[in-house]
A = this chain, B = another copy of it.
Amino acid sequence: MSTATVSRALSRPERVSLQTRERISEAVRLTGYTLNQAARSLRQRTARTILVALPDIRNTFFSSILDAIEREACGRGYGVLVVNRFAGDGSVRRLHDYFLSNRADGLLLLDGSVELAQLLVLTGEPANVPLVMACETIAGAPFHSVTTDNVFAAEVATRHLIGLGHTRIGHIRGPAHNGLTLARETGFGNAMAASGLAINPQWMFAGGFEMERGLAVAEQFMALDERPSAVFAANDESAIGFLSGLRRHGVECPRDVSVVGFDDLAVAAHVWPPLTTMRQPREALGRLAAEALIDLIEGKPRNRVPLHTVLSSGLVVRGSTAPMVAAAETVVPQRRENTAAAFLL
């Protein structure tokens, strides 16, 4: 039997007669033949593996997305290589090696702080690495992307606070030089401007995406002469750290300050008070991004122009936000008593 027939029987069994197939199956069984992916990869230039580069897998926002990516990839017969603590330009070099050595077929990039020119080296001739961006994009970049509408979601979060009667609203920013930070800050600003509310620069806290950063912001908050009555945090972790820090100083949420987060991590429902937040569709985001990348790798028809899939986030109202009126009811009577006491003296 010719090599071509055996190869056909193994790769496209429908093209070979049943009898031939059975003879080959028997031979395969007897010889203990196994597929050598390294050899196949050398011939076909495919590793059946995608590379996922992400900022911090310890954050459950990213680990949930990775979970969805892995499930989609696995369902299509692809393995998932992970590059963690990927942060922008300095790390692009780390990715090159995976493609130079044919260990991955395409890249799913969950970080937008990369210089476009660096990525074009990967995606252009001769490397031609298929690339899809998820969570973040780079303005004007010719890549497919799957993101959530961060600007609009931040507007919704801020409008929720404004709708509760708050006018003195602060914002805990994400990390510096980060696309999400900018988008969420823009959405916050848009909502404030649309309601004619001024932004107090002292209430634009330099935060970050870790709980420790929220904890540090609580200290800045306590040191303020005049405090906002509500705060929109750029993610749940900083909001949770902020709440934890306030509590140490006896500041109660939502009585003294309302707090909105962003992401809806699983734990957001179980902290105290349960966190009002923007729920991001993490499962869909990971799944659609992996689907887009594997389609690209397999040359399935997609728009020739980059396709930007933008998913919506939803507001989840829990106990960490309350009407400004209710807050006033709690605070103002005390002030009245004080005034009355002063009057009596």
Contact = CB atoms under 8 A, between A and B. Distances in A.
Contact of A82 (B34, B80, B100): B80
Given A270-B211, A272-B271, A103 B57 contact: no
Contacts of A240: 267, 270
A32 interface: yes
Interface string A83-96: 11100000000100
Given A57-B63, A58-B67, A37 B102 contact: yes
Given A49-B103, A60-B63, A81 B84 contact: no
A126 B63 contact: no
Interface in A49-71: 49, 56-58, 60, 63-64, 66-67, 70-71
A57 B66 contact: yes
B79 A67 contact: no
A222 interface: no
A287 to B, nearest CB: 13
Contacts of A67: 56-58, 84-85
B49 A42 contact: no
Contacts of A60: 58, 60, 63
Q: How many copies does the complex hold?
A: 2
A211 B274 CA distance: 14
A240 B42 CA distance: 50
A257 interface: no
Contacts of A85: 67, 70-71
Contact of A247 (B38, B45, B94, B272): B272
Contacts of A42: 36, 38-39, 42
Nearest to A212: B266
Contact of A47 (B38, B71, B243): B38
A84 B64 CA distance: 11
**Which 5 pairs show the lowest CB-CB distances between chains A and B?**
A37-B101, A272-B272, A244-B270, A38-B41, A38-B102
27 contacts: A32-B126, A35-B101, A36-B42, A36-B100, A38-B38, A39-B42, A47-B103, A48-B103, A57-B57, A57-B63, A67-B85, A70-B82, A70-B83, A70-B84, A71-B84, A74-B94, A79-B81, A79-B83, A81-B81, A81-B82, A211-B269, A241-B270, A243-B270, A244-B274, A270-B271, A271-B271, A272-B272
Interface of A: 32, 34-42, 45, 47-49, 56-58, 60, 63-64, 66-67, 70-71, 74, 79-85, 94, 98, 100-103, 126, 211, 215, 240-241, 243-244, 247, 266-267, 269-272, 274
